[in-house]
């Protein structure tokens, strides 16, 4: 017998628009401090303008696959969803996380940004794992755990955004558009990140679960 769920959705969007600019200050600096500041600035631009957009291309593809199951009003074959989560979505998301960890950085300031970003994305990964368990076992308690993790991931991503904005201001780097964009004064292109996770908040409720007899 095929189990089908009518999935209703509540978007948990983990991307926040981020725009800001810094102003240069005329302060006396030593050659050593100027060189250190330049290193942080250059690495920040590389990180948010190149490194993160590069790995987020893989993440965006995974999340597009995941979210496709939760289109408004869609009726989902949970066997297909579970198989895709197990065989494709979760392994590919883990590979994305490994790619984030593999980003090589020198400065403590930008390493801290990477750690914040990884923490947010890893929390979303844990939430998707909970969705897998909830669908597999029809467990509403686990579903609620997934929902809490998605909310936590959103908060952590906001903290990451705030940290990027603060460091960008400090280093006089202007951010444009979505997160993971670089300064127009330093690099001409603008790259948008699109990280979303949809919370199937009603997925496990009894009135949305129906059974269909095999023909």
Q: How far apart are CA 5 and CA 12, in angstroms?
A: 20
Is a pLDDT exceeding 60 seen at residue 195? no
For the question of whether the overall pTM of this predicted structure is more than 0.75, the answer is no
What distance lies between CA 91 and its chain's CA centroid? 16
Confidence of residue 71 (pLDDT cuts 50, 70, 90): confident
Closest CA to 164 of 153, 177, 151, 152: 177
What's the mean pLDDT in 126-146?
94
- Residue 42 predicted with pLDDT over 90: yes
Is 190's pLDDT higher than 80? no
Mean pLDDT of the 182-208 span? 41
Q: Among the listed ranges 9-13, 110-114, 119-123, which one has the minimum average pLDDT value?
A: 9-13
Confidence of residue 163 (pLDDT cuts 50, 70, 90): very high
Determine how β-strand 196-199 pairs with β-strand 10-13: antiparallel
Q: How far is CA 32 from CA 28, 41, 131, 213, in A?
A: 12, 14, 50, 74
Range 42-55 average pLDDT: 95
Determine the number of helices (DSSP H) and then strands (DSSP E) in the chain: 6, 5
Per the model's pLDDT, the better-predicted residue between 71 and 183 turns out to be 71
Indicate the average pLDDT of the chain.
74
Region 202-213 average pLDDT: 37
CB 168 within 8 A of CB 175: yes
Confidence of residue 200 (pLDDT cuts 50, 70, 90): low
Least confident range of 80-94, 136-150, 152-166, 182-196 = 182-196
- Evaluate if residue 136 carries a pLDDT over 90: yes
Q: How far apart are CA 120 and CA 102, in angstroms?
A: 16
User: For residue 45, what pLDDT is reported?
Assistant: 95
């Amino acid at each position: 017998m095929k189990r089908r769920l009518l999935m209703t959705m509540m978007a948990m969007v983990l991307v926040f628009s981020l725009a800001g600019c810094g102003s240069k200050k005329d302060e006396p600096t030593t050659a050593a401090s100027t060189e250190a500041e330049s290193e942080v600035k250059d690495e920040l631009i590389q990180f948010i303008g190149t490194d993160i957009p590069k790995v987020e291309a893989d993440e965006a593809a995974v999340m597009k696959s995941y979210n496709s199951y939760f289109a408004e009003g869609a009726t989902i074959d949970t066997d297909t969803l579970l198989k895709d989560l197990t065989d494709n979505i979760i392994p590919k998301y883990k590979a994305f996380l490994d790619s984030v960890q593999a980003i090589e950085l020198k400065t403590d300031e930008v390493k801290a940004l990477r750690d914040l970003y990884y923490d947010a994305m890893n929390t979303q990964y844990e939430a998707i794992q909970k969705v897998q368990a909830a669908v597999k076992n029809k467990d509403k308690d686990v579903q609620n755990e997934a929902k809490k993790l998605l909310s936590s991931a959103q908060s952590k991503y906001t903290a990451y955004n705030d940290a990027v904005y603060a460091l960008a201001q400090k280093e006089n780097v202007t951010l444009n558009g979505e997160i993971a964009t670089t300064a127009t004064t330093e690099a001409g292109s603008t790259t948008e990140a699109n990280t979303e996770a949809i919370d199937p908040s009603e997925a496990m409720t009894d009135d949305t679960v129906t059974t269909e007899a095999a023909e």
